[in-house]
Amino acid sequence: MNDSHLSRAFALLLSFTLLGVSGCASDSSDGYRSGALYSTKYRSVAIPIFKNSSQDRAIPFQLADALVKEVESTTPFKITGEGRADTVLRGTISRVDLQMLSQSVATGLTEEMAIKVTVDYEWIDMRTGKPIISRSGMQSSAIFVASLPNNQPIDLGRFAVAQQLARDIVASLQGDW
């Protein structure tokens, strides 16, 4: 095989490889994507504490903290105040439910519990005032062991569910731009 044939074969192989890779990345619903994960149109986001319709007073603060940390660590957006932000992420915690998952046969006391939090939120473009994303009824849950010997406080469950909600909410900010 001479150099001319080898060059053509290499060019053909390279073309098919590039075509295959771009074909995989063209439909983000398949899990592959080329380009930016987050819109390059926006540079900053404000995250005020979510309104709270539940009886749990700790969750809004833990969720706000988790959202700020998740945005800072996984997106190109900068956290800033509402007056300077391109976008704002507003929401309401609509429900916080505790559910017994298991109980001790010997004592009848709760062993494992789940805390489930339901939120509604909007990511709003501050220039237009229109929602970029609007979601209702997003839920996340976490399990904690309430009984001895572990005796984990409910705060551990709150922390875990706030972290999971933050990951889910920030992941939803990705889109087909």
- Does residue 25 lie in a domain region? no
Q: Over the range 63-77, which residues count as b (16 or more CB within 10 Å of their CB) and which as e? A: bbbbbeebbeebbeb
Q: pLDDT band for position 4 (50/70/90)?
A: low
For residues 83 and 75, give the distance between their C-alpha atoms in angstroms, rounded to a whole number.
20
Nearest to 38 by CA among 132, 165, 134: 132
- Does residue 33 lie in a domain region? no
- Does residue 21 lie in a domain region? no
C-alpha separations of 30 from 20, 34, 39, 74 in Å: 14, 12, 19, 21
- Percent with pLDDT over 70 in the chain: 78
Which domain does 46 fall in, by range?
Answer: 38-172
**pLDDT given at position 40:** 80
- Does residue 23 lie in a domain region? no
| β-strand pairing of 110-125 with 87-103 | antiparallel
- Does residue 141 lie in a domain region? yes
Q: Which residue has the higher pLDDT, 5 or 103?
A: 103
What CATH number is given to the structural domain containing 117?
A: 3.40.50.10610
**What is the distance of C-alpha 139 from the center of its chain?**
11
**pLDDT given at position 39:** 75
pTM: 0.77
**Least reliable range by pLDDT among 17-21, 35-39, 102-106, 162-166:** 17-21
N- to C-terminal Cα distance for the chain?
47
- Does residue 98 lie in a domain region? yes
- Does residue 6 lie in a domain region? no
> What is the tally of structural domains in the chain?
1
Instruction: Report the mean per-residue pLDDT for the chain.
Output: 85
**pLDDT given at position 13:** 55
For residues 90 and 67, give the distance between their C-alpha atoms in angstroms, rounded to a whole number.
11
Summarised one tens digit per residue, pLDDT across range 11-66 is: 555 555 555 544 444 444 445 545 557 778 899 999 999 999 999 999 999 999 99
- Does residue 146 lie in a domain region? yes
